[in-house]
Amino acid sequence: MQWIPFFTPGDSQYSNDVDLLFVGLLTASVLMLVLLFGLMLIFIVRFRENSGVKRPHPAEKSWRWEIAWTSATALIFVIMFAWGASLYVRIYRPPDDALTINVVAKQWMWKAEHPGGQMEINALHVPVGRAIRLIMASQDVIHSFFVPAFRLKHDVVPGRFQSLWFTALRPGTFQLFCAEYCGTDHSRMTGSIVVLRPAEYQDWLRDQVGGDTLAAEGASLFRSLGCSGCHAPGSTVHAPRLEGVYGNPVPLSDGTIVPADDRYIRDSILQPRSQIAAGYEPIMPVFAGQISEDELLRLVAYIKSLANAKRGAQ
Amino acid sequence: MNAHAPVNYLTTDYRLSSWFTTTDHKRIAILYFATITLFFFIGGMAATIIRLELATPAGDLVTSDVYNRLFTIHGIVMVWLFLVPSIPTTLGNFLVPLMIGARDLAFPKLNLLSWYLFVAGGACVLYALFVGGLDTGWTFYTPFSSTYSKGNVFVAVLGIFIAGLSSILTGLNFIVTIHRLRAPGLTWFRLPLFIWAIYATAIILVLATPVLAMTLLLMTLEREFGVPIFDPARGGDPLLFQHLFWFYSHPAVYIMILPGMGVVSELIPCFSRKPIFGYKFVAWSAISIAIVGFLVWGHHMFVSGQSVFAGVVFSLMSYLVAVPSAIKVFNWTATLHGGWIKLDSPMLYALGFIGLFTIGGLSGLFLACLAYDVYVTDTYFVVAHFHYIMVGATVTAYFGGLHFWWPKITGRLYPEYWARAAAIVIFFGFNLTFFPQFILGVLGMPRRYHVYPAEFQVWNVLSSGGAFVLAIGYLMPLIYLSWSIFWGKRASANPWAATGLEWQTLSPPPKYNFAVTPTVVREPYCYTPEALPQNG
């Protein structure tokens, strides 16, 4: 669509679909505008006060016109709705095999944390052609992760993990904006998405001065925050073992069963008494307000890494 | 002053105190005119500085904090102190009793109290904005407003709360008046469409405004007294605030646009010299907009993290609420067909309204479309969209109505040449200001940005240039309408040969409106093609 003078093509898996939707909406709108403004112009000229043209009798059964244009409008609107909704459902449904990267937003910077422990500020390096899933958290107010070239945006709301995924189609550097007003330097809370070829991406990962992996850092937090006192194998306290929990259904004391996803793990750390695993006493202390989003993401990464460990292993 | 001129509502008492203790709906309308005009120019000055700043990509005119305060001032003043009260409290206050053949609103003292509350609320807001400052934006999103903002949130919220009380009382007054004080023979389907529009607006004012008051109260409780409600660190949910806020603020858009639609429904038949096409469809579409408008708030939250299912439902409802608006546009256009169209200045404004409202409405279809909204929400596309509706449409209709009823309100005629020129300057200035913002949105420029990447500059320069033209367009009526109060030709009772009851009394009307309560025997808009009488 380079023929539109101010238009820049998109660079993610759905950007062409979004652009096609735009062209569809634009075409329908321009046709409606031309029809309406054309009729208005013709009527104003033809039926101007001084023109001698014969006026038709007022329309009998005007409700036929009403039904005609109401149903035509409703039909066009339903088509627009269905097109946009079906694409929306696809945009926000992540694939299973995505590479997960954590993003923490705070006034006024973006911090990305790769699974290997590499960290970067106001930049995000990703490999081309690979599905990337961002797990996003905010340390303070609401921000919004917006990459115009990918036609993608999602708010980052404090108090919850939010996820967004994309596949970049070509290498290059793309603008990242904060799209939700967040205070003084909102307009400076920008960054770049650097899309690299797979080999370059591996080189980049290696060149970073990384600490431990996120899961390893999570493991040491797990000990320093005292979690291991109850949850570690061999503990005398009656607390759930966490090996093999992530990704599996968890029966709760109220009889419901919930999937142990990122949100469940997060909520169970912050507000452990809201969803109690069946067969356990609500004795865990509340961690809300005690740990930062960075620490939470590491703990979740550690518990995720236990997903494949044998449940109840000693 | 002509000694033989009959005493009218303006000349019954010249003392200043008589104005501040009046219970005459016409005088209260004038009080509102003066107040909201002041607010319009305060909000406009903030907009002027914003557009000057955005002429260059760097933040070189004001600091980021000042910029954030400017768009907060602009938003709060324009929404709550100008647009929401604009047509209902001025033209509505003046015309509702006249159009239904009544001597005043049902509760004249309550009407005066509404104005005092509005002034008190406005004063609080101005105090907060200029003493201490406010940087939350007009949307007050939590947790920024409740925890992080250092601005004078409490006083501003108090002001909006009080102004909201004024809105509720005004709405209540209109509802009771329209139900109880109609002249003999004036059945519901003989009412002017302006009355239908004001009635629908009043219902929203009464039902939605309390939710805004509660929401802001909860936010203030959290901010000032530490009661955890929206703060996620203490188990609250920031999205709850957005749900509550938009439950008011989306219907508030219809509070702003419905009265404009009502004004245009009066102007189009008058200057086409024929009855409006599809009267009942236009009337009922106002009511359906008021009802369905309560069910679309979630379309402000498509990227906020509300469920995908909720997004799909709100998208469908948003398309549904667009249907009655489209019905109105088609009926206005059909009214032109077979008429004897005269392009006087009120008609120019009415036609400008249809054009700008249609562009604004069509761009709304892009935003209701889920997948496209993910891209353009929180960009300049949204800014352009709601300015087309709230400024392009509502303010244009307000000016159209002001010109149409000016002879009735003041008893004077304004210079028609200048009025037509202003209508045209405003139309072009508006499009030059806001159409480039659609393009900025499609290019991906986020809103509320003090500094921006250089590739966006050319469109911002065009927009700022347009704002200059638009400012001139808005100053023109201020000058020639003020001039006409003193030196304009005297208006006859019915200079447009219009059919409404308000034209059957003198210009300006006497204090009691009608010497004898009129009896209505016909449908509205029984226009005939006869030439307009000469003014004099």
Q: What ipTM does this complex have?
A: 0.91
Tokens of B309: 């299912």
CA atoms B386, B392, B393, B399: torsion sign = positive
- What's the confidence (pLDDT) of residue A1? 46
**Interface A-B: count of C-beta contacts within 8 A:** 253
pLDDT at A5: 52
Residue B242 region by backbone torsions, left for phi larger than 0, else alpha for psi between -120 and 50, else beta: alpha
The H-or-E segment that residue B249 falls in is helix B238-272
- Please give the mean pLDDT across all residues of chain B: 93
Q: Do A28 and A76 touch, CB atoms closer than 8 A? A: yes
Instruction: For chain A, say whether B351 makes contact (Cβ under 8 Å).
Output: yes
pLDDT tens per residue across span A40-61:
999 999 999 888 888 887 666 7
pLDDT of B535 higher than 50: no
- Report residue A12: phi and psi, to 5°: -125, 175
- Of B479, B345, B483, nearest to B404 by C-alpha is B345
- Residue A220 pLDDT more than 70? yes
The answer to whether B377 contacts chain A (CB < 8 Å) is yes
Pairing of β A191-196 and β A131-138: unpaired
Q: Tell me, what's the pLDDT at A286?
A: 82
Check whether the bond before B508 is cis (ω within 30° of 0).
yes
CA distances from B238 to A140, B140, B153, B534 (A): 11, 11, 17, 61
Give chain B positions within 8 Å (CB) of A144: 303, 378
Q: How far is A246 from chain B (nearest CA, A)?
A: 22
**Which residues does chain B have within 8 Å of residue A43's beta carbon, measured at their own beta carbons?**
333, 336-337, 339, 341
pLDDT digits (tens, 9 = 90+) for B199-220: 999 999 999 999 999 999 999 9
Distance (Å, whole) CA B72 – CA B448 = 10
Would you tell me which residues 73-112 of chain B have a C-beta closer than 8 angstroms to some C-beta of chain A?
A: none
Share of chain A above pLDDT 90, in %: 45
Asked if residues A286 and A270 have their Cβ atoms less than 8 Å apart, the reply is yes
Q: How many CB atoms lie within 10 A of CB A126?
A: 22
% of residues, chain B, pLDDT over 70:
98
Question: Which chain A residue's Cα is nearest to B340?
Answer: A49
pLDDT band at A312 (very low <50, low <70, confident <90, very high): very low
Neighbour-count burial for B166-179, b at 16+ CB within 10 Å, e otherwise: bbbbbbbbbbebbe
pLDDT of residue A313: 39
Q: Over the stretch B352-409, which tens digit does the pLDDT of each residue have?
A: 999 999 999 999 999 999 999 999 999 999 999 999 999 999 999 999 999 999 999 9
Q: Pull the structure tokens for residue B130.
A: 């200029």
Q: Is the pLDDT score of A37 beyond 90?
A: yes
Residues A159, B275: C-beta atoms closer than 8 Å? no
For residues A254 and A181, the model is more confident at A181
Q: Residue A250 above 70 pLDDT?
A: yes
